[in-house]
Amino acid sequence: MMPALAVFTGLVIGAIVIAITDANVIAAYGNFLRAPGTALAATWRSIASAYGALFYGSLGSPKELYQAIQIYRSTGDNAPFLRAIWPITESLVASTPYIFGGLAVALGFRCGLFNIGAEGQIGIGALAAAWVGYSITGLPQFIHLPLAILAGALGGAFWAAIPGYLKAKTGAHEVVNTIMMNWISFRLSDWLLNGPMKAPGYRPITPNIEPTATLPRFFPSPIRFHAGFFLALAIAGLVYWFLFKTTLGFEIRTVGANPRAARYAGMSITRNIILAMVFSGALAGLAGASQVLGVDHWVGQGFSAGYGFDSIALALLGKSHPGGVVLASLLFGTLRSGATRMQSLAGIPIDIISIIQGLVIMFVAAPATIRWLYRIRVERIEEVVLTRGWGK
């Protein structure tokens, strides 16, 4: 219930932010004493139009869907139906990289590592996947596609392995190092997109990938829903199995929960830290790969667009459990695709989502604030080790 309350509180505060930054609302409160009703109505209109656009943009309207099904039944025309399901498929499309990214951060948390570098790993994974996708030609899809996906995973894994190695061998804190790797990846991709990987033309983007490297889509053109979503669900299952049913997963969790006990039990801290970082980076790389191969089909500047930072919120919200991460990703994917719509319909900057995310992280990390807010009695909760101090 705590995560639900945290999200709810985040949305409420988001609504307040929307209202108090709305010029119409501010104007209406200018003569609050004379016309309090007008001011309150303006507040309500502001919030309702914003969140209305958010929900309409992310889920569509049930009425339209119902009518569309009627039309399809009576006339066999499926265009209204496709229009009606478009918002919800967009939400699933937005959720796909979130699932991978959230799993990446969650896997790190399980080993006591805070991988803030998902952002950079996603970017490098995307570049690697795109490179395999456009530079190799003439392969059948059942070889080319897995190869491109693998390249994405390897790219992310490599990018995460560097801070992982430094953490395990020298104790350099992964939080600072992964952030430095983020900045390095941004500069590197600037260089690649303006140089070696640039498509002919003036825009700094990669060439389009070959059709044989694309993730298959299920509906005709405007709908971008692709197989990456199911791959993400499958990987979530795999991560669950890995963490809770294999020896290596057990070791990684033990190192995260109690490094000292792990050491006495004969587990190698160094090895587990490096492996956890590598797997985490591979998952983040998959996020980039799924986005390139499934949605964009090319990589441009500013590709990762905050997915990596959002992933931190997802892992925290999902309590570092693959199932929880999937649910949190569906929620945030919905919010994100709705926020795009909200930006165009109600003129609310999409950054409101980051504000809400920051608040949600705070509330999830500090359940005491939520308990205090809603007067919930204290219960003993098992503490999950998330990360430690300066590599001591």
Applying CB under 8 A, does 93 fall inside the site for other proteins? no
Is there binding between residue 392 and other proteins (CB under 8 A)? yes
Identified binder of other proteins from the candidate list 52, 219, 354, 376, rule CB under 8 A: 354
Whole-number Å distance between alpha carbons of 186 and 386: 27
CB atoms within 10 A of CB 125: 39
382 touches other proteins (CB under 8 A): no
275-163-105-239 Cα dihedral, nearest 10 degrees: -10
Contact between 77 and other proteins by CB under 8 A: the answer reads no
d(CA 312, CA 234): 21
Backbone φ and ψ for 301, nearest 5 degrees, come out as: -70, 150
- Find the binder of other proteins among 64, 219, 369, 376 (CB under 8 A): 369
Task: Tell me the closest approach of the beta carbon of residue 201 to other proteins, in angstroms.
Answer: 20
Question: 379 by DSSP, 3-state: which?
Answer: coil
Residues 307-326 touching other proteins, rule: CB under 8 A, are 309, 312-313, 316
- Please count the residues of this chain forming the interface with other proteins, following the rule CB under 8 A: 61
Among 35, 172, 233, 305, binds other proteins (CB under 8 A): 172
- Among the residues of 60-140, which ranges form H helices? 62-75, 79-110, 118-135
Structure tokens at 201: 């033309």
Binder among 138, 195, 201, 220 for other proteins (CB under 8 A): 195
**Which of 165/250 has CB closer to other proteins?**
165
For other proteins, the binding residue among 137, 170, 221, 247 (CB under 8 A) is 170
Q: Using CB under 8 A, which of 4, 12, 16, 21 touches other proteins?
A: 21
CA–CA gap between residue 228 and residue 210 (Å, rounded): 17
3-state secondary structure 156-170: HHHHHHHHHHHHHHH
Choices 73-81, 231-239, 276-284, 346-354 (CB under 8 A): range interacting with other proteins: 346-354
CA angle at 174 for the pair 187 and 254, rounded to the nearest 5°: 145
d(Cα 233, Cα 316) in Å, to the nearest integer?
18
Binding residues vs other proteins (CB under 8 A): 17, 21, 114, 116, 163, 166, 168-173, 175-177, 179-184, 187-188, 190-191, 194-195, 259-260, 263, 269-270, 306, 309, 312-313, 316, 348-349, 351-359, 361-362, 365-366, 368-369, 386-392
